[in-house]
Amino acid sequence: MCGICGYVGIREDGLLERMTAALTHRGPDSAGYFRSEDAGLGHRRLSIIDVAGGHQPMENEDGSLVLIANGEVYNFRELREELLARGHRFRTKSDCEVILHLYEELGPECLQRMLGMWALAIYDKNRRRLFLARDRLGIKPLYYVDLNGRFLFASEFKAILRYQGFQPTLNPLAVHEYLALRYVPGPGGMFRELRKLPAGHYAIVEDGRVSLTRYWTPQLYDGPFERSEQSYLEEFAERFERSVKRRMISEVPLGAYLSGGLDSSTIVAVMSKQVTHPLRTFTVGFEYEHDELEQAAATAQALGCSHTEIRWRASDVALLPKVIYHLDEPLGDPIVIPMYMLAAEAKKHVTVILTGEGADETLAGYLFHRALLAGHRLGRVVPRWARRSLLAPALALVPSALLNRAFEYPARLGRRGEQKIADFLDLLAPEQLEDAYRHLISLFDARDTADLYTNDFRRALASAPASSNEQAIVHSRAPFLNRVLYLQFAHWLSEDILTKQDKMSMAHAIEGRVPFLDHELVEFVLRVPPSLKIRNGQSKFLLREYARRLLPAQVTSRRKMPFYVPLEKYAAEPVFQEMLEDTLSPRGLLSRGIVRPEAVARLRRAMQQGEFIFVKQAFSLVALELWFRMAVDRRGVHGAV
């Protein structure tokens, strides 16, 4: 695990060193550089495999190819044996050197043979060609800008900002998308010039041109589903256990995050069988009724783990500026703060951590999965006029307390949340999957932004080109739930879930590995019938059945509890109020020309009611202003906050 950066078509003294220095937190063990007449590659190393010898950049036998890479190739030993048999000579025992020789042998097709996670760059000196690639699911990040033949790339955008010839311009559509989704969907970014190399793609930069190619796409399967449940269960068990074992390859200490829930507990159960010493596990808890510290400690004890726990305090909101600095882009989910804290604690004991990201996204673990599935079934039998004239008014008669009981978060759903449900009922036609999906996950929807945006920002949005790659699967014959899961792969998984995982762990030079996102396991799960994902209103049925072999019944049968920061409990705390006063003020976000002061004032009054949505909206605006200070005002860009 490392940080990589570089450029072609640029000659600027000291640029490569400045870019590489911006990534020091990702790779504190060493730095390495390659320079040619108008190209440069920089590398910061976090030593995991071949600790003594795996320094980068690496060159092939004749010195024509130069590699820098971030990530791990889990099948490198098998590939190495193949390459040795073909006559390749290795200088190290590193998994990254295998990439270099495999590319020499196969070119871009080498990516099809690799299992793991990566963002990599290979420079061909003879052809003056740069090859970039990102892993299939986007576990590792890679940003780039193309400035009329001057091309720069990096693991984190802050490294690109070190180029003095880059004067970025704000992308209003990205701001709008962020406020709706709480993350910035790719392939663009918060600046018009910024791009994210999409998951499952590679890029070739040659003769001043950039060409992108998609080399992997998760395949939707439309049936028939004729296998027995037991056969699906046995194949899942085999693939999942293989995935966990692959991700335990390391020459440095490793451990796991353990929330006490189903996903992380299952990972830890499999890991515990592979070690001869107590596995290190780590948990963060919160001071509210749904705290999982007790459950995590009980699971750790049952599995013989050496367990560490930390606790979120209201004062930890003050970490948010540091968190936004490391995220590189605004992300309106307060869970990033405890993730940052947990990585800091884990780093005291281990360098590699296995985490549960991807289970909910592949096995339908979220409340909105169940809501979309139920809504889809309803929409097929109840016409729109009946939903609009009968169901929506009936919903208004349901007591709020009853709705809150169905809401799996501890916060109150509130009036605005109930309104979103009513709007959702209007979007249940089978051809409106994307609209219904987006409505359920949106934080600021059209009703909110009608009041929130200034006239100037509306005009900027109107002139911005729209972009989306989510429309292609509407008419697939695959089961509805599998189409919803596929839709998440378009952006949310790589640009939200995995961005948080990578940036918060690498802020403390700790490598996060995600067993549920082994691409072979993902391909299998997308072929599993929906009845093995959601059954009788219970999520992740297949995983629960498998976990019964490994875990106590209280873990496999308990209701899913989201990994959730109870920010509404702390909204009145002085530290949060001070941050609101600082960021949502005339000297803060109100000076950016995006949001109306009257709308922000109304939001601040509404959030005092403790409603889930209003508090999250306020937090997202705070995160946006902190990003402006870091990336636009350049506070903290030339050194960690």
Per DSSP, the three-state class of 116 is strand
- Residues present in the chain in total: 641
The single-letter code of the amino acid at 192 is: R
Burial 500-519 (b: 16+ CB within 10 A, else e): bbbbbbbbbbbbbbbbbbbb
Q: Classify 610 in phi/psi space as left (phi over 0), alpha (psi -120 to 50) or beta.
A: left
Instruction: Tell me which residue of 565, 587, 578 sits closest to 633, measured CA to CA.
Output: 587
DSSP 560: P
* Strand order across the beta sheet in which 209-214 lies: 58-59, 65-73, 116-124, 129-134, 201-206, 209-214
Q: What percent helix, strand, coil does the chain show, rounded to 5?
A: 45, 15, 35
CA–CA separation, 282 and 522 (whole Å):
26
**Among the options 2, 5, 110, 305, which is catalytic?**
5
CA–CA separation, 204 and 132 (whole Å):
6
Per DSSP, the three-state class of 96 is helix
Whether 329 and 184 have beta carbons less than 8 Å apart is answered as: yes
Helix ranges, 328-454 (H)? 336-346, 359-363, 367-381, 384-386, 392-397, 400-406, 414-425, 433-441, 446-452
CA–CA separation, 56 and 41 (whole Å):
10
Largest CA distance in the chain: 76
Is the peptide bond between 57 and the residue preceding it cis, with omega within 30 degrees of 0? yes
Whether 139 and 502 have beta carbons less than 8 Å apart is answered as: yes
96 is catalytic: no
Whether 252 and 47 have beta carbons less than 8 Å apart is answered as: yes
Neighbours of 344 (CB within 10 A): 16
Q: Which residues, listed in sequence order, are joined to residue 147 by a DSSP beta bridge?
A: 150
Angle formed by the axes of helices 612-627 and 320-327, to 10°?
Answer: 70
The single-letter code of the amino acid at 240 is: F
Q: Classify 508 in phi/psi space as left (phi over 0), alpha (psi -120 to 50) or beta.
A: alpha
Per DSSP, the three-state class of 67 is strand
Instruction: State the catalytic residues.
Output: 5
